[in-house]
Structure 1
Amino acid sequence: MATTASTRRQFLSLLGLSAVAVSCGTTATGANSGKGQTKTLRYQGWAGQVTLPELAEDLGYLEDVKLKWVGNTISGPQDIQSAATGQIDFGGAFNGAVVKLASRHAPIKAVIGYYGVDRRQYNGFYVLKDSPIRSARDLIGKEVGMNTLGAHSEAMLDIYLQRHGLSQADIKKVEPLVVPPVNTEQTLRQKKIDVGVLGDILRDKALETGGIRPLFSDYQLLGAFTAGTYVMTERFLEQSPDTARTFVTGVARAIEWARATPREEVIDRQIEIVKKRGRNEDTDPLKHWKAFGVAETAGRITDKELQLWIDWLGERGDITKSQIKARDLYTNEFNAYRRKDTSSAAPSASSTHSGS
């Protein structure tokens, strides 16, 4: 576990390094030939999960564009750094990380939202049932376990503390710690941390076991919102605009397909995708999938989704608010989704191939 104050914002220094690498790294992009447009997109996946681009490809929505899996990641900030430096062709992260990376002059654009928070898809901050922690002020001097620092969960914690009147000096006394999600429940029950962030199947299993209670959730804090976006480099968008349009529109169609399709069918589709790619992954967690949580139709991006984090980072002193404008960070130009795009049934899982 990370236990020092310096680790609290470790991702910020990593993002700073990416600015140095961007100028030479972007030449590694799949679109660097300058002859035609690439039809293969390199990307990082998540073990045991199906990403929206993978779902889009399996549904046939990416048409002649193919995905090339180059490995897995466990960090959104790392994923978008890899995209910015040309190691992969698209990456996704929490919007605060996107803002931070853009503030370092990385030549990236957010092109579509891919995950969010709603009444079904949320992360909760949990304490033991007999914990004395009942309010934000009770967190002073306490430790909060989360999957990574400087990303979604730390942002939610900071906003919660700010909204309940804690000063910046007091907020700094609340210590976020890195705890792998699969270990969070056990670490909380063993009282090695005071609060644990739990979501999806890990949250549901912990609640079923009992003995814990929620302090707050990101949904209670901010309501439904799109929390993360996929980014591509400006160079890629300039050199392969048709490929970018096919990719973004395909992902948009997958978002709306998942929204309109019975949950059991979406789950079955994802399980089949994982089985076909043959990476010896556990599919049980997918049975608890509820939603992708994207708030806007087809994942279209709005100013407010990024402005929230510009304000948050500005209040933390991580960026100067005046140096960056939300509208400059994203484009919906490549999202050609129309509601009729998913009106016809997608091909069955048995008749398609993931190819990822």
Structure 2
Amino acid sequence: MTIVRRDVLAALALTAAATTAAACGTSASGSETTTTLRYQGSVGQVTPAELAADLGYLGPVKLKWVGNTISGPQDIQSAATGQTDFGGAFNGAVIKLVQAGAPITAVVGYYGVDRQINNGFFVPADSKIRTVRDLVGKKIGMNTLGAHAEAVLDIYLQRNGFSPADIKKVEPVVVPPVSTEQALRAHRIDVGVLSGIFQEKAKAAGGLRELFDDHQFLGDFTAGSYVFRKDFIKRNPATVRAFTTGVGKAVDWARTTPRDQVIQRFEQIIRKRGRNEDTAALKYWKSYGVGDPHGAIQDREITTWITWLEQVGQIPKGKVKAADVYTNRFNGG
């Protein structure tokens, strides 16, 4: 297994430049409406967009799967550069891409944190890591850099008295979610960030110990949103409205439907799409974690991360406002 570091800010800057060039060559006044949306999925999982499509909530809008991703920043970069029509990521990553100049807008929340689903930082049960100070010099495995897990780690370290110099001594490294538990048990990393079905599966197997999770100090919150390019929205407002409203309805359906029925539906969806995926881990699914009805986005779910990004120097102070990042005007839920 390879563990890599990535220069996320450089990637965002390149994406913004590519997006600007693409936008310059696109006619925003085109009248042709797009009703088939290209997107990336996740192995062995059912996203709210896929659930919405299966439930018939997207109306005339169809989804076209073009591959899988393990990275929110990569997913929204693909949307920003026109390789896909929409993508989803941690709101902090969306903010950074907007600040870098990419003309994208978040339209609906699609994942979050609550008591049932969160990002837990785990170590082997026999690890000598016991306190926050023990994290100095340690490798923290997470699905991507510059996104949710790294933001949570930074805030946790800040709130426990770490200086910026101390924080730099804690090393986030990239490990695919499907490999994190294995990497942790094999001691290739010191700490592993586990969430959703991967966390529940790892806890059921035993032998791990949780240091902390983001719900403990941040509470319930919608953490990530689906985005579209602004030129796409201008050309296809009805499509964006159907998608946004449908995803919101699917999130509500998953929240209010008995868990066993949701899991059964997920299993059916994965079998029908025929991508040779294992459905065994779906039994551990508990929640999408979206905090607000219909996936509506709130200012606080954006401003929290704007403040953090400003504090750590990843975006200039005062350059990005919540209104620059999202809109609820297409959410008809």
Q: TM-score range by the shorter chain?
A: over 0.9
Q: Any idea what the Cα deviations from partners look like across 1:91-136, whole Å, max 9, x if unmatched?
A: 1001111000000111111000000011111121012223232222
Q: Any idea what the Cα deviations from partners look like across 1:249-282, whole Å, max 9, x if unmatched?
A: 0111111111111111111111111111111111
Give the Cα–Cα distance (whole angstroms) in 1 for the partners of residues 61 and 35 of structure 2: 5
Aligned CA distance change for structure 1 residues 46 and 32 (closer, same or farther; 3 Å): farther
Q: Note if contact 2:70-2:176 (Cα within 8 Å) is conserved in structure 1.
A: no
- 1:14, distance to aligned residue in structure 2 (A): 0.6
Aligned CA distance change for structure 1 residues 271 and 292 (closer, same or farther; 3 Å): same
Which residue is equivalent to 1:24? 21
Which residue is equivalent to 1:330? 326
Q: Note if contact 1:62-1:247 (Cα within 8 Å) is conserved in structure 2.
A: yes
- 1:33, distance to aligned residue in structure 2 (A): 8.0
- Provide the TM-score with structure 1 as the length reference: 0.89
- 1:77, distance to aligned residue in structure 2 (A): 0.6
Q: Note if contact 1:28-1:86 (Cα within 8 Å) is conserved in structure 2.
A: no
Which residue is equivalent to 1:277? 273
Which residue is equivalent to 1:216? 212
Which residue is equivalent to 1:168? 164
Q: Note if contact 2:139-2:170 (Cα within 8 Å) is conserved in structure 1.
A: yes
2:114 is the counterpart of 1:134: no
Q: Note if contact 2:29-2:235 (Cα within 8 Å) is conserved in structure 1.
A: no
Q: Give the AA of the match of 2:292.
A: E
Give the Cα–Cα distance (whole angstroms) in 2 for the partners of residues 156 and 199 of structure 1: 13
Aligned CA distance change for structure 1 residues 300 and 28 (closer, same or farther; 3 Å): farther
Q: Any idea what the Cα deviations from partners look like across 1:137-181, whole Å, max 9, x if unmatched?
A: 221111111121111111111111000000000000001111222
Q: Note if contact 1:201-1:285 (Cα within 8 Å) is conserved in structure 2.
A: yes
- 1:74, distance to aligned residue in structure 2 (A): 1.6
SS of 1:322's equivalent?
Answer: coil
Q: Any idea what the Cα deviations from partners look like across 1:61-105, whole Å, max 9, x if unmatched?
A: 111111111111121111111111112111100111100000011
- 1:35, distance to aligned residue in structure 2 (A): 2.3
Give the Cα–Cα distance (whole angstroms) in 2 for the partners of residues 115 and 190 of structure 1: 29
- 1:28, distance to aligned residue in structure 2 (A): 8.6
Which residue is equivalent to 2:293? 297
Which residue is equivalent to 1:11? 8
5+ residue gaps, structure 1: 338-356
Which residue is equivalent to 1:346? none
Correspondence for 2:183 among 180, 187, 195: 187
Give the Cα–Cα distance (whole angstroms) in 1 for the partners of residues 3 and 275 of structure 2: 30
Give the Cα–Cα distance (whole angstroms) in 2 for the partners of residues 11 and 126 of structure 1: 24
Identity %: 61
- 1:296, distance to aligned residue in structure 2 (A): 0.8
What RMSD, in angstroms, separates the aligned Cα atoms of the two structures?
1.7
Q: Note if contact 1:252-1:298 (Cα within 8 Å) is conserved in structure 2.
A: yes
Q: Note if contact 1:40-1:66 (Cα within 8 Å) is conserved in structure 2.
A: yes
2:31 is the counterpart of 1:35: yes
Which residue is equivalent to 1:344? none
SS of 1:238's equivalent?
Answer: helix
Correspondence for 1:125 among 103, 108, 121: 121
Give the Cα–Cα distance (whole angstroms) in 2 for the partners of residues 134 and 116 of structure 1: 27
Aligned CA distance change for structure 1 residues 276 and 32 (closer, same or farther; 3 Å): farther
Give the Cα–Cα distance (whole angstroms) in 2 for the partners of residues 301 and 173 of structure 1: 34
5+ residue gaps, structure 2: none
Q: Note if contact 1:41-1:67 (Cα within 8 Å) is conserved in structure 2.
A: yes
Give the Cα–Cα distance (whole angstroms) in 2 for the partners of residues 184 and 259 of structure 1: 27
Which residue is equivalent to 2:149? 153
Correspondence for 2:251 among 234, 249, 255: 255
Give the Cα–Cα distance (whole angstroms) in 1 for the partners of residues 317 and 304 of structure 2: 11
Q: Note if contact 1:26-1:84 (Cα within 8 Å) is conserved in structure 2.
A: no
- 1:26, distance to aligned residue in structure 2 (A): 4.2
Q: Note if contact 2:28-2:234 (Cα within 8 Å) is conserved in structure 1.
A: no
Aligned CA distance change for structure 1 residues 135 and 28 (closer, same or farther; 3 Å): farther
Q: Give the AA of the match of 1:108.
A: I
Give the Cα–Cα distance (whole angstroms) in 2 for the partners of residues 69 and 180 of structure 1: 20
Give the Cα–Cα distance (whole angstroms) in 2 for the partners of residues 286 and 209 of structure 1: 15
Aligned CA distance change for structure 1 residues 66 and 317 (closer, same or farther; 3 Å): same
Give the Cα–Cα distance (whole angstroms) in 1 for the partners of residues 100 and 8 of structure 2: 13
SS of 1:255's equivalent?
Answer: helix
Aligned CA distance change for structure 1 residues 256 and 217 (closer, same or farther; 3 Å): same
SS of 1:311's equivalent?
Answer: helix
The farther-off stretch of 174-183 and 109-118 is 174-183
